[in-house]
Amino acid sequence: MMNYSIIQIPSISSETGCLFVLEKQERLPFEIKRVYYITNVKNDAQRGNHAHKQLKQLMICLGGSCDIVLDNGVSRTTITLDMPGKILYIQPCLWREIKNFTENATLMVFASEEYDENDYIRDYEEFKKHVGQGII
Ligand code: T46
């Protein structure tokens, strides 16, 4: 099973622009403890290359686009984030590779926990071992 989902949020649009709302309870699957964003990524660069043991995340590409490759240790799927109303909800135990950033892309992440390097698995073989043994 691939532990992710896409949340589409409607825009509140007018001739002056578009507004998107993520409000407690209604559209947020967890309490947000941290927000970070990634920008100025070179088109041929790849980020991610890790899995999280516990962390849940919501990812939105604000402007531009990027691809999120998700891997559960058995199969892979690629999600293109290319609209501010398209939100990727990633649950724990998924390896991710983030690539094909367009020049103007900013990837914003809402996270369920504060930063903890011990929550990361940064080695793919180790990730496969963990998944295979049902450790994460
Ligand atoms: C993810 C993708 C989308 C911190 O000190 N605090 C933080 O909150 C974060 C996120 C990172 N760092 C440090 C850890 C590393 O020394 O910043 C450095 C770069 O982090 P990392 O190599 O993990 O960056 P990405 O872009 O590969 O991954 C980040 C997040 O770590 C990760 O959770 O899903 O963005």
In this prediction, what percent of the chain has a pLDDT beyond 70?
96
Q: Give the ligand 1 atom nearest the CA of 48.
A: 27
* Gap between the Cα atoms of 68 and 62, Å rounded: 14
- Residue 130 annotated to the active site: no
Residue type, 41: V
* Gap between the Cα atoms of 133 and 136, Å rounded: 8
Mean pLDDT of 2-27: 91
Given the residues 27, 50, 128, 130, select the one marked as catalytic.
50
CA of 47 relative to ligand 1 center, distance in Å:
9
Secondary structure (3-state) at 117: helix
What's this model's pTM, rounded to 2 decimal places? 0.95
Question: What's the confidence (pLDDT) of residue 1?
Answer: 81
CA of 28 relative to ligand 1 center, distance in Å:
22
CA of 86 relative to ligand 1 center, distance in Å:
22
Task: Write out pLDDT tens, residues 57-99.
Answer: 999 999 999 999 999 999 999 999 999 999 999 999 999 999 9
CA of 17 relative to ligand 1 center, distance in Å:
31
Across 6-15, 18-27, 82-91, least confident range? 18-27
Q: If you take atom 25 of ligand 1, which residue's CA is the nearest one?
A: 48
- pLDDT exceeds cutoff 80 at 136: no
Q: If you take atom 9 of ligand 1, which residue's CA is the nearest one?
A: 115
Q: If you take atom 7 of ligand 1, which residue's CA is the nearest one?
A: 115
Write down the H helix ranges in 9-132.
124-132
Task: Write out pLDDT tens, residues 33-63.
Answer: 999 999 999 989 999 999 999 999 999 999 9
Write down the H helix ranges in the chain.
124-132
